[in-house]
Structure 1
């Protein structure tokens, strides 16, 4: 058994110098930091490691001391003891080793497969429009604690998604994915957008260079934008959202054209109607439709910042607004059928909707306040 740095009295079977009776004396902490110390290895804890941990815990050694003696970081020892400590706070090596062996078994049992009542609860909530994230949060709220009964009453949002998208992962209804906001029947990788060239934005401003005042929404005039795509990506509508007021501008792209020149021209035309203090910056995804960003910057006198690759959540206001706009612009439809008057009407409708983030004011009201009081803006 590996020797442990001890801190026990003479009555303890662990020697005062840290070793077990008959074992080699433990080296000092300084010696462990010498050049001949073994390099850290990514390996599973062995039964001998766990026996050493148990002795160290019994004699009151610190996690750093125990980790040094078994050649592992103190965080490994801390997680091991926390994960396998008994109800009375004790740590027993054979019990911990057996528990670790059971956790490594594959395939692992699926909680939803053995809990039909929880499945029905999830189905009812999703039929009411709840997202997996909201369901998981409410289950955690209703079943707090670490007891076995509490753990069986809750699941993570990832478990729900796996039950929806991976066969044999649970007993949820096969059509339940239709209740999700995007109604996808299969998961889509964040890295599968397939948009934008590899070197188009090498010299563009990135979101990390954006001023801090943009992030805290304290100053108006900072916009986020993207395209809503129609059936087969053959038609599109441009969307722009002002971060502080949530005011929406829709860009009409006629003739199913949503290439870079068309998007740039539509954006310049619409945003030129705004006063200069309300077009301070634009944040966009790295789609090829904004390859003419230099023209946009010169004409609007506003810098264009680009999100990190495959990171649409960095334009959170625009992503949330696009979800609301899908009420009118459903996926799989031809968006070129919408006229400029249609877009103006839909934008006005959305801008007249009260927003809890604005204390139930509408985006139109918030924008008018800024227009009526330019110094405050």
Structure 2
């Protein structure tokens, strides 16, 4: 008879009957209607667990997996032995094997049990060495995302020495969460003491360039980053004194050049600084320049003639079209903070900042550095 009917006959609730049945572990009960042994008018009842798969592998399952791997069985054959799909076996082996590639059933079962424990211990509470490494990298301007990627690359098998970027953000923004320094949020690019949602794209002014090249006229090789030598540029504006620093970023390698603009940043000064710095590059690494519609590049014709490279301008109020440069400027704000007087930085200071950024591993470069990528291009050309 159905389990619910059996529970009624012994005077207990259906939930109690289901609990007794689950704890027995050896009973197989078919679902039947009232016409076949149940009470009249009762609907078919499916026994708990009937027709469904077990959610978690047992220690016996893992023992069979270990024995099967030792015997050279395939994942599919092991799956048939324990009544699970081959993908379950494949995930289990890859998740719980040891550093040497071996799989031991008892060790795997213990590891799976520890991962299921709740609540989990917060990694940035007990691991003081990891906290110090994160703080050191953030003091150098690294983002939580970059730190998480580098830790994952250094510890590919997973351990207490790797965390997600969200764990770092929680330690920075959630009170009593982790043991990172309370002032470490000031090392983030936006230096915000608390998180907030995006409010939409920023809107800025525009300057018409009737005869200039538009960004829609750039060749396709610029958009897909297939050919190096295409640059994006902009100005980082400082305090009210009018101080500014020019930035140029190569799209393929993310190599950054900073333009020293002491005293002023008008069109003539920007053109002189850009020509001075970019003439140091070989010709095949200065194919084009993309800039925002700012008045500081009114001398773009002079730049095109001196560098033999076209200058393209973004659409009005569309700084996102220079995404590589915008992201790099955000990183540079670690050293060139908003609201500060940027004129205090000498040419040597800017070179040191650019070198530091160019030696930082980038996720978009498979954790290589822009300097390494640029050196590869120069070596291939030679």
TM-score (norm 1): 0.49
Larger Cα-atom Rg: 2
TM-score (norm 2): 0.48
